[in-house]
Amino acid sequence: MNDWRPFIYGGIASVAAESGTFPIDTTKTRLQVQGQTIDARLKEIKYRGMIHALKRIYAEEGIRALYSGLVPALLRQSAYGTIKIGVYYSLKGIIVPNPDDETLPINVFCGVVAGVVGSVISNPTDVLKVRMQAQKENGGRETFTQAFVKIYKQEGVPGLWRGV
């Protein structure tokens, strides 16, 4: 594994994509958590769709609300993208040293392994991102560090790997 470029390029590309699409991801998260009966703060159906949610969040909470959780998202993408792309090309190079011998099953296998490894390692940042995106202005926004400490204290290490 002498070539570090796939790791770096994968991380940079992932961070750029995340930065550009983050408000859409925030509205998606808000749409997904609204109407829950478990958390009374999320019980109200506030948004009718993606565009309505985007406009309403911006109007009621400001642009910062659309980017709430961006720090863990960028950390996740830099870790996930770097690991996924790097592991994919490294593993493929080990299995098939000659690129002419590549097959679809080998590429799929390498992609699945790379995706799983990247996802497992970067899961804590994804948990933080979603929790921060779901916060409402009136509920008081937590910083990245505050959200991390809260999850760790209330749920322990397993809370950071929720969903894996």
* Residue 54: predicted pLDDT: 95
Q: Are 153 and 146 in contact (CB under 8 A)?
A: no
Q: Against a cut of 0.75, is the pTM above it? A: no
The pLDDT mean for the chain works out to 87
What's the residue count for the chain? Answer: 164
pLDDT in tens, 19-72: 999 999 999 989 988 887 777 777 778 899 999 999 999 999 999 899 988 988
* Residue 138: predicted pLDDT: 47
Q: Which of 74-83, 92-101, 102-111 has the lowest mean pLDDT?
A: 74-83
Query: What type of residue is 117?
Result: V
